[in-house]
Amino acid sequence: MLAIILSTCLVNEPAVCQNHRIPIESQISAIQCMKNALPYVAKWSEENPRWRVVRWECRPANQHDI
C-alpha cells in the first residue's frame, strides 16, 4: 500500500511547512501512484485552501496511514 506525501506550506506564512499523507487504497506501483496522484493532490488542495502544495511523492504507507 502506498501513500501520497504532500509537502505543504501555509499560504500566509510560507516559512511554516508540514507534510501531509493521503493513503492510496489500491495496490499500485509507485510509478502508477505518481501518474495518478494529481487528482488527489487537487482535491486535497481544494479542501485545504490555507496550504500550498510545494511538492509530492509516493512512498510506502505505514500503519499510521491505514
pLDDT band at 12 (very low <50, low <70, confident <90, very high): very high
Q: What is the pLDDT of residue 63?
A: 52
Residues above pLDDT 70, as percent of the chain: 94
Position 65 pLDDT exceeds 60: no
Res 1: pLDDT: 82
Residues 6+ apart with CB under 8 A from 5: 19, 20, 21, 56, 57, 58, 59
Adjacent-strand bridge partners of 6: 20, 56
Question: If you average pLDDT over residues 13-42, what whole number do you get?
Answer: 91
